[in-house]
Structure 1
């Protein structure tokens, strides 16, 4: 991976090199786990026969993952889902989480503890002043066979709190949009917001919450109509995520919805970028002085994002240039050697907290944007 290009701050370069060393070591360990007969998953052990190289001898570091064909999301549709469970984890309680599914068979991913680990790492990034340990949480997002619901609940429990959840079926939301039933969509959104307000006004001492940008905006407006606000309801920390997170929306949210930056409003909001395959990428602190720019950094070495050229998915773009987002997942539960996301953005420099490449301006990939329905996300 070419993070060590000219242009990176020399003081950061040492950390960049150390992070790359860790990534190479982690990649080697992960590949050996997934392609060894005694620990690998049936899917990858079968796929190994089709490859024109031997992962156990020919993968020496992260860059060697480009020897693999790009990961196809069709591989995740249909069963048996057990083919994805590594032999090294057989017999352990296993979750299955779905993504997509608005048309045809949804994509499925098996998980054992990855969603716990990912959110425990994310927990370490939250400022305790606004996300106090022991605080209760509201999960204002999708329910059902989604990783996010259980992950946020674990985040709350990991931090010593209790998580309150609502019912929300994102597939029904997308169907309503596709049918043009906007009146029904508004009623369903109102149904979700009513559930959230019931929780926030029931004396449960909820201080932290997850919400998608659309639902957070709707919640703020609904509370305002009732003569109250998120702050008056006791909310101090908000974790949010989705491609709707733009600098324009963030400015509106901070200035209008939250009544100012944290030091004025007492409410801290952190954007995130994540999915069922990767986990959670944290944002560089978003400030007015930086034009509310949002830059995401994957949780290396467990996951890596690259911004690659539109005409060559094996070549990264220069810093500040636009390309498609390419994802790698490298855990002992799940291995993804290069998945082309439905997003594009700009490649961002490493910095002190995350000494590896980031991506900013995340938005639907232009070649797919017209066919992409953004629902609650």
Structure 2
């Protein structure tokens, strides 16, 4: 069986075992053992019902492990008898596994790692490589997360908002190592959208698709970051844009606006402009107004200030920016950009240099440094 099919089945089988009474760690161990057995036996004797086979095999593994540990004898008495082999019901328990992996008791980093391990089906080595940490370190993080949710049962509704935050964290990690986390986040969000009817799930999927569509144009051949206004829009993925806009429109039609739908609407307006100068900035400001109303997010307020600078002029943008805390991430970079637009080149160059020192990653730091160098060179040329 294809690896992609097994990755889809794995969280479903884990969720079935947890619903039947296994704790999360024991369920995952049992499913991994069942997968190893499947790899040995399926090539010569493939089952008619792969999910049913995995559930039966994993449940047997779990019972064997439970009987082998005296500390679990009391719990064993509460376990139902082994179900007879056969076709497993069509109910997909993966949604419950999403909720478990995004449990509020977990830190964001632990929730992300556990989601990638249990729902995404990635190996510990792959997750560690994606986060640029040692495999042992990631294994410990995942083990702690499993222990944290060991006693959690599926008897209360999960929080979709928490699941979406975790998936968006995965998406924003982008790409490193041999795992494309952005693509993985889109795959998992598609899976969630198929399991739950919620406009914000579709809003997040639309947002991911619209952002991901611009990925080919974000980095130039020299590995340098390319700002949105300077990107070659011919390199954008028009199919992903069309899909994202369609999903967003259907979500907005439900008239239950949420933060991901508002962010996706901003991304859709950027995608709709054939040229940067054709961007509908007044409408983008309106969507940021909605986003600020929904979330009160300082980051949304910062982005709104930049959009105001585009719609109403840099002085208006700087006035909106002045109302925000200067310690906000990218506040200095936004000031530099708006000062440059206002013609204050010397101040902009100084702020770009300052912003480069505060940049959260190397690509952004290099980009801001180049902006400062460009303006300083232009100033020297004029004075010369």
Q: TM-score, normalised by structure 2?
A: 0.27
Higher share of residues assigned helix = 2
Q: TM-score, normalised by structure 1?
A: 0.27
Structure (1 or 2) with the larger CA radius of gyration: 2
- Pick 1 or 2: higher relative contact order, CA cutoff 8 A, min separation 6: 1
Higher share of residues assigned strand = 1
